[in-house]
Amino acid sequence: MLFLLFFNSELKAANTSATQSADNETGSSVPAHIALIMDDIGYRQSDRLALSLPLQIAFSILPDAPLAQELAQRANQQGREIMLHLPMAAYTQANLGPIALTADMSAEQIGEVTHRALNSVPMAIGVNNHMGSWLTEKNWAMHEVMKTIKTRGLFFVDSRTTSESVAESTARELGLPVARRHVFIDHRLSPESMQQQFSRLIALAHQQSLAIGIVHPHPQTLAFLKQQFETLGSQQIQLIPISHAIKPSLPTEPAQTQKTMQP
């Protein structure tokens, strides 16, 4: 994952404390990893409070949002990773904002608008979808989106707003570095519900060594997360930047050398 090395130095300091606390308590054992993406950044004044969270948490910023530029710059100065939160058509009626991939667009328009969205968050190193339960089920649309993202050399994280999403598989086919969201932490804002979801994230991380969660800049979420981070070390969990959680896609066509040798 050479393209990630650039970010390592800046995030090294942020990683150190979590790593050390896990190592101190578990001897030589390797901690499981979680990565978190803070979605929907850019519309609320209170989004600024999210800057106080650990630097490993990526900000995914909505294109052309009123606070998009300010927050992207401040987060970037902190050494935090920035993503584009790309609005996509959903089955439910939703205001997707000024730059969005809507259901009435042609393939060409999908490509154009994806470019515009990427231009509006130029510091983004990756993309995930905002909404998109309709669009991420469409092969032709995901092909256009991923083709465009690929020209910028960015990674994609499928937010999985529908179980029928083909976003991740399309990204993989086109060779983009890719990952998927495992758990939404704060769909419900009660402490009990967030605790349940966060525990699911931790359990998944222990099972599969890495789990990716999505959170939102609600004041309740920020307060909840700050509490959780104090206990990660004792649970042998290390919080890592999202770029460290992305897998490069393997070539889809295996080498045919052996077959061509056969009659």
Q: What are the phi and psi torsion angles at 231 (to 5°)?
A: -105, 0
Instruction: CB nearer to Zn ion: give 9 or 95.
Output: 95
Residue nearest to Zn ion (CB): 130
Structure token pair of residue 201: 């994230």
Cβ of residue 97: shortest distance to Zn ion, in angstroms? 10
Cβ of residue 132: shortest distance to Zn ion, in angstroms? 9
Instruction: CB nearer to Zn ion: give 130 or 138.
Output: 130
Cβ of residue 179: shortest distance to Zn ion, in angstroms? 16
Please list every residue from 11 through 50 that binds Zn ion, using CB under 5 A.
39-40
Cβ of residue 15: shortest distance to Zn ion, in angstroms? 26
- Helices 139-151 and 107-120: crossing angle in degrees, nearest 10, is 40
Please list every residue from 198 through 217 that binds Zn ion, using CB under 5 A.
none
Only one of the segments 72-80, 104-112, 124-132, 149-157 lies at the binding site for Zn ion (rule: CB under 5 A); that segment is 124-132
Please list every residue from 132 through 191 that binds Zn ion, using CB under 5 A.
none
Total of chain residues touching Zn ion, rule CB under 5 A: 3
Instruction: CB nearer to Zn ion: give 39 or 144.
Output: 39
Cβ of residue 120: shortest distance to Zn ion, in angstroms? 16
Instruction: CB nearer to Zn ion: give 132 or 241.
Output: 132
Q: Which amino acid is at 247?
A: K
Q: Which amino acid is at 229?
A: F
Q: Is 218 in the site for Zn ion (CB under 5 A)?
A: no
Instruction: CB nearer to Zn ion: give 36 or 232.
Output: 36
Cβ of residue 214: shortest distance to Zn ion, in angstroms? 8
Residue carrying structure tokens 């058509």 = 89
Cβ of residue 37: shortest distance to Zn ion, in angstroms? 10
Instruction: CB nearer to Zn ion: give 14 or 89.
Output: 89
3-state secondary structure the chain: CHHHHHHHHHHHHHHHHHHHHHHHHHCCCCCEEEEEEEEEECCCHHHHHHHHCCCCCEEEECCCCCCHHHHHHHHHHHCCCEEEEEEECCCCCCCCCCCCECCCCCHHHHHHHHHHHHHHCCCCCEEEEEECCCHHHCHHHHHHHHHHHHHCCCEEEECCCCCCCCHHHHHHHCCCCEEECCEECCCCCCHHHHHHHHHHHHHHHHHHCEEEEEECCCHHHHHHHHHHHCCCHHHCEEECCHHHHCECCCCCCCCCHHHHHCC
Of the residues 33, 80, 130, 218, which one makes contact with Zn ion according to CB under 5 A: 130
Only one of the segments 88-96, 125-133, 139-147, 241-249 lies at the binding site for Zn ion (rule: CB under 5 A); that segment is 125-133
Instruction: CB nearer to Zn ion: give 40 or 47.
Output: 40
The residues, any chain, with a CB within 8 Å of residue 259's CB and separated by 6 or more, are: none
- Judged by the rule CB under 5 A, the positions of this chain that interact with Zn ion are 39-40, 130
